[in-house]
Amino acid sequence: MKKIMLFTLLVFIILNLSPIYTHPEKYLYKDPMKITKDFVPSNSLLASPEEPVSTKPVQFYDFNKDGQKEIIITFEIRAKKQPSPSQFGAIVLRKGKEGWKKIGEIRTKGVGLQYSGFADITGDGTKEYLFGVTMGAAAGNNLDIFKWDNNSLVKIANVQYHKMELLNNKSVGIAVWRPFIADTCYVDVLKWDGQKLTPDEKLFTKYYPVIEKFHKDKIAKMDTWYYWYTLADAQIKANLFEKARKSIQKGTTLAKQLSLPDEVKNFEQLSDKLDKKKKSY
């Protein structure tokens, strides 16, 4: 009987303690909304980003690894005259001996908050803060990347994109899709080289199957020259020279059928790019 009571008591304790480990912010920051209300602009609204999915306006991350997480708040200040762009921002709070203090603020104009999250872009073991704003349907999105340095966030990179995907490695690569024509895109995979983000051929080659699938799916529905153009561009970057040659030939034929001399010339230039890359490979 004593063993049963002891077992029951142990289960009860575990069940009541488990939330402390699964949701530490709930206990470290009993009322984060109360903390943040004194720091956000009075004319602002808290804003959740589109990506990562289900991200809240209030996030937590321990930038300086001291065991105390900083608070990151994202907000929107709507333009008085619509449909003028709103102002989107993020505020970083750090707790000191005298309480919470604002140690950083970001503000950018746009039509939507596209991204707010963390990733170890530089590969130093500490995640950077990524803040992306949608500039418009044609202009796409603008991403600023901030590194924690000397107790503040410092911008180290900027990326323009239509679509973005983070690729996990020792340091995180960024697959960047930039619009070309209609719904097709040029694609680059960027990685931190110690100083800046630069195209990374190895990561691009690993990511290429995603690009190929996108193009093949589109071509299956509508076989047009511009899908072959951006597919060939990706194949050159992935050193798939024979595939690129065939894609250029296919795209050129379609462009000629539509009497598009400028596009035929663009394919010729892409063919020259292929020859140059092949010689240097």
Closest CA to 131 of 191, 73, 199: 73
Predicted confidence (pLDDT) per residue in 220-268, tens digit: 999 999 999 999 999 999 999 999 999 999 999 999 999 999 999 999 9
Euclidean distance between CA atoms 198 and 141, whole angstroms: 19
Its pTM stands at: 0.85
- Conformation bin of residue 11: beta by default, left when phi > 0, alpha when psi is -120 to 50: alpha
Closest CA to 123 of 190, 169, 64: 169
Mean pLDDT of 39-64: 94
**Are the CB atoms for 88 and 54 separated by under 8 Å?**
no
pLDDT of residue 14: 42
Residues in the chain: 281
Which pLDDT band holds residue 1 (cuts at 50, 70, 90)? low
Q: Examine the pLDDT at 15 and tell me if it is beyond 50.
A: no
Euclidean distance between CA atoms 10 and 16, whole angstroms: 10
pLDDT of residue 30: 59
Higher-confidence position of 163 and 168? 163
Euclidean distance between CA atoms 117 and 109, whole angstroms: 18
> Tokens 């937590």 map to which residue?
60
CATH of span 24-161 = 2.40.128.460
108 burial (CB, 10 Å; 0-12 / 13-18 / 19+) is middle
Q: Examine the pLDDT at 6 and tell me if it is beyond 80.
A: no
pLDDT of residue 251: 98
Query: In the structure encoding, which two tokens stand for residue 17, read together?
Result: 């303690």
pLDDT of residue 33: 76
Percent of the chain clearing pLDDT 70 (strictly above): 88
Q: CA triplet 89, 93, 95: central angle to 5 degrees?
A: 175
261: preceding bond cis by omega (within 30 degrees): no
Mean pLDDT of 112-129: 96
pLDDT of residue 97: 85
- Domain ranges for the chain, please list them: 24-161, 167-281
pLDDT of residue 138: 84
